[in-house]
Structure 1
Amino acid sequence: MKEWAKLALTEATQAGCDYADIRIGQLANEEIRIKNGIVEHLHHHTDRGFGVRVLIGDGWGFASRPQLDDNEVVSAVREACEVALASQTVRREPVNLTELEAVEASYQTQLTIDPFNVPLEHKLFLLKRAEAALHINEHIVVGLAMMKCSKEKKWFYSTAGSAIEQETVIVGAGLQVISSDGKDVQVRSYPNTFSGNYAQAGYEFIELLDLVQHAPRIAEEAVQLLTAEPCPTQVGTLILHGSQLALQIHESCGHAVELDRVLGEEAGYAGKSFLTIDKLDCYRYGSEIVNLTADATTAGGLGTYLYDDDGVPAGRVPLVEKGILVGYLSSRETAPQIGRKSGGAMRAVGWQNVPIVRMTNIHLEPGQMSKEELIATTDEGIYMEGIKSWSIDDRRYQFQFGCEIAWEIKNGKRGRLFKNPVYQGTTPAFWQNCDGIADEQDWMLWGFINCGKGEPMQMIAVSHGTSTARFRNIQIGVAEQ
């Protein structure tokens, strides 16, 4: 790897580049899905390649190749240089990068059981048992059991003198059941929608999910939802379980604080952000108890690494402190535009894509109450779990989310079951009405493997740590116009 990197960086330097880096990547990915007792999807994929990024004056250039040899390396560098020279002609602002120290480092996911050393027969046996346990009666029409494992090795070298090797292993699994009585259809998932829950860990994480044990419970809930009352429309108190609150964090905070969106440099796929730079350090995003953090050092997080794809060290960056907006997700290029240093949030999906500002792990910091106290101190409200639908505008301001299941809270106790729960609002009003967050005993990581951004779109993996939280004066159900 070092010889090819040396060749690329030497070629770039001789071509007059002010900066250059090369990322060499190697990926193994395995996906399994069982539907109603049948192996519906069994996929194993490997790839390898490299991407070269160069800066000439104020123009960036990038090129990638699936084959790693001397000719392809030289060809990619020359193509990247041509793109950089062309980029100069349309660049409106000068490129100013935060300083980058030369480092030699390595990182590897901490795990006990390598998922790629576990026999396929063992994985299939587990998923078949779990899926079979979903079929508790005739109202269960679809049962799904899913598992995914990936291992990515990445080598990064730059003209700044850095040489960084990182190996990341991601695993996850989940269940989904669909019930129907001929008049209605309901869905229930475990541990969450989007094929379950995921972590940067070994196969031991999948074993801890205990799919077989939880299958009958979610199947029973899916059946009960068929005869449950619809969730009533009201303005009231909402308690959100972490399974849904993680998505709320992702959509209304994570994407909203990506600095390239804020600056208008990335708007094609999902729009810009209402959290403009004039709001930094003075805008009340949430209540006094709301603290949101980007942390690329969280153990087990899907957005955890040692160095980002700019070669910047991972760190913990406050985004919202005591309800006030105090930070953004940034890169070497975007951070200087607001007078700050890079927060180490430049990430690319695979060797074939150019790095862009992405989420690391975005967390809602835990509060002081237990989950039980949160419910017990609620006279009337609605408690919701699970992701069913989501919609948010292109500024990350107005939203509407649907959950899989809800219960009435009455006099501090969980009561009647409700189906089709929905809530809506605006991001600042929602977070400003947060008056209770459960403590670290309830706090956990929720891993999403489907965060999309960019054109062409890059689908990256991120995690969100959160516990259950309570919000007052929330529109539950769809408000009448």
Structure 2
Amino acid sequence: MFDTLRTQFRSLAPAVDFCALRIVDESSEQIMVRQNLLQPLTTSIDRGAMVTIMHRGGYGYAATSDLTVAGLKDAIARAQAWAVASAGRSVIDYSTIAMPRPTGRYASPVRANAPEASRKDLIALLMRESAACQIDARIVDWSASIGTMSTRQLYLTADGGDLEQQFSFVIPNLSVTANQGADTQTRTLGGQYNGYCRQGGLEVLNDAGFYGSGARIAAQAIELLNAPNCPTGSMDLLLMPGQMMLQIHESIGHPLELDRILGDERNFAGTSFVTLDMFGHFQYGSPLLNVTHDPSRGEQFASYGWDDDGQPAEKAYVIRAGVLERPLGGAISQARAGVEGVANARACSWNRAPIDRMANLNIEPGSSSLEAMIGSVERGVLMDTNVSWSIDDSRNKFQFGCESGRLIEDGQLKGVVKNPNYRGISESFWRSLKAVGDASTVDVMGTPFCGKGEPSQVIRVGHASPACLFANVDVFGGQD
């Protein structure tokens, strides 16, 4: 199919300043067992193309699921009409933007020794983990699921650009809910947002700790029922990667998206407390904070070789030693703002135009072991796995809750606490960072559910992070 479309597109492309075709061919399957019952399998196939045209300063695009010659002709005509109509009326003269004409290939890494499993094998695995959840009569709901997805993407420009990228995704999850009287507690494998989603093959299941997770997660849910509520007060807070993922996403990722800073998202997803004049000097966090945008890290959920406007992916610091260096903005937003960004113009599918999206946004590991961080705390709480979040529309003031917590007293890890929550303000929170875990504390997380844009786009994001220790955070628990 791709070879045919290459030939057809180049024969149909009009004489304009820039013309590109992005084709997406995606298939997915979701297998779930709930309370030992196999749920209806969900499968989908999604295939289509987006035409982008820039001409005489105007910009237009059009999508189609009709990949015949007639369908491509129609999409090209519509995109060209929009480019003509917008010329001289846009926020920027698009003729000033040098769009890439890239060539190359990219594929998700799959380990040579990755296990193979049929659909029957995966159902049997889910049945075993589901059955293993039933360790106590107080377990009232439980489920286990595995999602797989395969995506092929072709990006062509009329004047020679030719990119082909192939992605393989695995999304495991397991959830157990326990109840006793008026108290209900849920524990999950990686959070309700499918935190252990990664690129690769079925080796992802082993990396995520899926095997044996049924009994383990169920035991943690029962443990929460028996635990006291999290204490309230100002204290040290040790966040594990399962919560750091959400903290990075909401209070670094979204506020640094350049189209949001430029005001494009104000009507729907909000603005940002970050302004263009902050880049290069603003102290976003403590000197221990180093944040990178790294789509080249293959096993992460949002890795790629090039973004959807053809910019090559590379690792870039957005915050270094606590100082804000660059925003998360693709080629078009960079030209509008006059600042250097990253390769992150991304679309959720063929029927959406690329916009500025975080991809793999990671905190670089530090030098502290988990034991050393715990040992440095006189009074605090360790929290893991996000369960709730609230943040204002400028991504500044926030309140987050976790599934599980552990008290830390006089340098010792103590008992489990339930309903742990904390609140803060983004810049003062990150400036309170007083220790960053070493490589042994890092976990690779992500989510398939990052929403943004009008019309809405729900996209894949990756976050790798070590455990991190923060000082004097406002911590609070549930009601006794």
TM beyond 0.5: yes
- C-alpha distance in 2, partners of 1:404/1:363? 22
Q: Judge conservation of contact 1:114–1:203 (CA < 8 Å) in 2.
A: no
**The 10-residue stretch of structure 1 (261-270 or 95-104) with the greater mean CA deviation from structure 2:** 95-104
The residue aligned with 1:252 is: 251
Deviation at 1:384, TM superposition (A): 0.5
Query: Does structure 2 retain, via aligned residues, the 8 Å contact 1:266–1:272?
Result: yes
Instruction: Please list, as runs of the form range in 1=range in 2, the aligned pairs for 1:303-382 lying within 5 A after superposition.
Output: 303-341=302-340, 343-382=342-381
Deviation string 1:264-300 (CA, Å, 9 cap, x unpaired) is: 1233331111111011111111001001110111121
What CA distance in whole angstroms lies between the structure 1 residues aligned with 2:288 and 2:277? 23
Change (3 A) 1:160 1:340: farther
Task: Say whether residues 1:418 and 2:417 are aligned partners.
Answer: yes
Change (3 A) 1:128 1:120: same
What amino acid does structure 2 have at the position aligned with 1:284?
Answer: Q
Q: Retained in 1: the 8 A contact 2:291–2:318? A: yes
Supply the distance in 1 between the matched residues of 2:116 and 2:404 (Cα, whole angstroms): 37
The CA deviation at 1:248 is 0.4
Aligned counterparts of 2:152 and 2:45: Cα–Cα separation in 1: 11
Q: Residues 70-129 of structure 1: CA distance to partner in whole angstroms, max 9, x if unpaired?
A: 000001100112222333364243236553453321111121479997311111111111
Alpha-carbon displacement from aligned partner over 1:123-176 (angstroms, at most 9, x marks no partner)? 111111111111111100001101111000011001352100000001121211
Contact 2:327 2:340 in 1 (8 A): no
Structure 1 counterpart of 2:174:
175
CA contact (8 A) 1:98 1:341 kept: no
Q: Distance in 2 between matches of 1:158 and 1:25?
A: 15
- Measure how far apart 1:350 and its partner are: 1.5
Cα deviation code 1:41-89 (max 9, x no counterpart) = 4111112211111123333211111121100000110011222233336
CA 1:45/1:97 → structure 2, altered by over 3 Å: closer, same or farther?
farther
1:91 matched residue in structure 2: 90
Change (3 A) 1:131 1:196: farther
Distance 1:447 1:114, change over 3 A: farther
- Compute the displacement of 1:241 (Å): 0.6
SS of 2:206's partner is: helix
CA contact (8 A) 1:9 1:21 kept: no
| Match status 1:385 vs 2:371 | no
* 1:213 paired to 2:218: no
Distance 1:98 1:89, change over 3 A: closer
Asked whether the equivalents of residues 115 and 171 of structure 1 are also in contact (C-alpha less than 8 Å), the reply is: no
The answer as to 2:135 corresponding to 1:133 is: no
In structure 2, what residue type is equivalent to 1:49?
G
Contact 2:92 2:336 in 1 (8 A): no
Q: 1:101 to 1:411 in 2, by over 3 A?
A: same
SS class of match (2:300): coil
Q: What is the root-mean-square deviation of aligned Cα atoms in Å?
A: 2.0
- Give structure 1 stretches of 5+ with no counterpart: none
User: What is the CA–CA distance in structure 1 between the aligned matches of 2:353 and 2:115, rounded to whole Å?
Assistant: 28
Q: Are residues 278 and 90 of structure 1, via their aligned partners in 2, closer, same or farther at CA, if it must alter by over 3 Å? A: same
Match of 1:185 in 2: 184
Using a 3 Å threshold, how does the CA distance of structure 1 residues 190 and 477 change in structure 2: closer, same or farther?
Answer: same
**How far did residue 40 of structure 1 move?**
2.3
Aligned residues with identical type, % of pairs: 31
**More deviation in 242-251 or 451-460?**
451-460
2-structure distance, mates of 1:102, 1:185? 55
1:439 and 1:227, CA in 2 relative to 1: closer, same or farther beyond 3 A? Answer: same
Please give the secondary structure, in 1, of the residue aligned with 2:78. Answer: helix
Which residue of structure 1 aligns with residue 398 of structure 2?
399
Distance 1:181 1:429, change over 3 A: same
CA 1:341–1:99: 2 relative to 1, 3 Å:
farther
On the 8 A contact 2:108/2:298 being kept in 1, the answer is: no
Query: How far apart are the structure 2 equivalents of 1:237 and 1:341?
Result: 36
Report whether the alignment pairs 1:446 with 2:445. Answer: yes
**Hey, what's the Cα distance between the residues in 1 that align with 2:321 and 2:341?**
23
After the TM superposition, list the runs of 4 or more consecutive aligned residues in structure 1 that deviate by more than 6 angstroms.
113-117
Q: Deviations over 1:179-211 (max 9, x none)?
A: 001221111011333135111111121134342
Deviation at 1:227, TM superposition (A): 2.7
SS in 2 for 1:224: helix
* Residue in 1 that maps onto 2:301: 302
Q: Secondary structure of the residue that 1:81 maps to in structure 2?
A: helix
Secondary structure of residue in 1 paired with 2:70:
helix
Displacement after TM superposition at 1:178 (Å): 0.5
Is 1:4 the equivalent of 2:25? no
Query: Deviation per CA, 1:3-54, whole angstroms, max 9, x where unpaired?
Result: 534544554433xx32111011111101112110112241111122111111
Q: Aligned partners of 2:263, 2:96: CA distance in 1, in Å? A: 18
Distance 2:262 2:113 in 1: 41
> Secondary structure of 1:298's partner?
coil
User: In structure 2, what is the equivalent of residue 102 of structure 1?
Assistant: 101
Structure 1 residue aligned with 2:279: 280
Residues 293 and 320 in structure 1, CA contact (< 8 A), matched pair in contact too: yes
Q: Secondary structure at the match of 2:166?
A: strand
Mapped contact 1:12–1:54 kept (Cα < 8 A): no
- Structure 1 window deviating more from structure 2 (102-111 vs 354-363): it is 102-111
Q: Which moved more, 1:163-172 or 1:103-112?
A: 103-112
Aligned-partner residue type, residue 325 of structure 1: L
Q: Which runs of 5+ in 2 are unaligned?
A: none
Write the mapping of 1:27-176 to structure 2, written as runs, cut at 5 A: 27-88=26-87, 90-95=89-94, 98-112=97-111, 118-176=117-175
Aligned to 1:18: 17
Encode CA deviations 1:331-379: one digit per residue, 9 max, x unaligned. 1111123434552111111211111111120011111011111111111
Q: Secondary structure at the match of 1:344?
A: coil
TM-score (norm 1): 0.95
Amino acid at match of 1:4: L
Preserved contact between residue 187 and residue 218 of structure 2 (Cα < 8 Å): yes
Are the structure 2 counterparts of residues 41 and 404 from structure 1 closer, same or farther at C-alpha, using a change threshold of 3 Å?
A: farther
